[in-house]
Chains A and B, each alone.
Chain A
Amino acid sequence: MDKIRPLIVDDSSVMRKTVERSLRQAGIDLAQVLEAGNGAEALGIVKESAVDLILCDINMPVMDGLEFVRQLQSAEVVKRAPVVMITTEGSESHVVQALSFGAKGYIRKPFTPDQVKEHVIPVLERQS
């Protein structure tokens, strides 16, 4: 698999770094890592930059992750950049909603690098 350019969307900078670290521990080769603190920032980034994968929290200020995925669905970029949710919100309704909006995977916090690998690699393989 080629190096990928992920966008990590979470209002916690520590969590963004933790997700990046887990991707590396999962053996995923990363090029530049892009970060956003909420859904609105993330929408701005995907309009300006090429992104291969988006990892997105749900509970965030300004624009939450579900609204971000909903708005992203209408954008061309979603076809190139699959979204995997990474969130403490583990309810069935959140999972169903996220998937119906176009998310390709759902990881519950707390998560291990193995869980990241298990959910992210198939998504990237389907995309390539």
Chain B
Amino acid sequence: MKSASDVSTTGQGRETWLPLLQIASEEVFDIMLGAKLEPLAEASSLPPSEITSMVGLAGQLCGVLTLRCTVATATLMASKMLGVAPEQADQQLWDATGEICNMVAGNFKNKLTGLSDKCMLSVPTVITGGDYTFHSLADAGTLEVMMMFENHSVVIALEVHS
């Protein structure tokens, strides 16, 4: 797996974080789901999110990592992770998306040299439904990657506290 030094030679500045988040996401989907994430061609074509998984980061890096997708996408993730048909995986979609979100968060922080020891992850929380407003206390911006996973869109975002 790639680390920060593979992505940028300019040190550990924030400019490396977005590509690292993208690589961390791609690796998790590739290794755990056997699926290639592709860049999303058009952000306006995103369907409304129905599932939101969240993992908190605390310590030197504080923030929240979220993974948003539809129920169909989450079911496909669970099915790929378990190696079963989607109709056999629909009761596992919350667990699966929570774990994928957790692995993306862990993989991302492990790529930031020197940070891994100084940042803890929370257990995942998964929200069903899209009629909510997310009020993060993050005040240092949001990194967001929008990807296609087997013709389904997935949005992975990191809300960063200063």
Contact = CB atoms under 8 A, between A and B. Distances in A.
A90 B24 CA distance: 13
Question: Mostly helix, strand, loop or mixed at chain A's interface?
Answer: loop
B95 A89 contact: no
Contacts of B105: 88
Contacts of B103: 88, 109-110
Given A92-B116, A93-B117, A109 B106 contact: yes
Interface in A9-51: 11-15, 17-18, 21
A62 B144 CA distance: 33
A111 B83 CA distance: 15
Contacts of B32: 18, 109-110
A91 B121 CA distance: 12
Contacts of B81: 14, 18
A14 B106 contact: no
Nearest to A60: B123
B107 interface: yes
A112 interface: yes
Contact of B116 (A60, A91, A111): A91
A21 B116 contact: no
B70 interface: no
A14 B123 contact: no
Chain A interface residue bracket vs B? 20 to 34
B107 A13 contact: no
A73 interface: no
A92 B116 CA distance: 8
A108 interface: yes
Contacts of A109: 32, 102-103, 106-107
Contact of A111 (B31, B78, B102, B122): B31
B98 interface: yes
Interface in B59-105: 78, 81-83, 92, 95-96, 98-99, 102-103, 105
Given A13-B92, A14-B96, A91 B82 contact: no
Interface of B: 27-28, 31-32, 78, 81-83, 92, 95-96, 98-99, 102-103, 105-107, 110, 116-117, 121-123
Interface of A: 11-15, 17-18, 21, 59-61, 87-94, 108-112
23 contacts: A12-B99, A14-B95, A18-B32, A18-B81, A21-B82, A59-B123, A60-B123, A88-B102, A88-B106, A88-B110, A88-B121, A89-B106, A89-B121, A90-B106, A91-B110, A92-B117, A94-B117, A109-B32, A109-B102, A110-B31, A110-B32, A110-B103, A111-B31
Q: Which 4 A-B pairs have CB atoms at the shortest separation, nearest pair first?
A: A88-B106, A91-B116, A90-B110, A110-B31
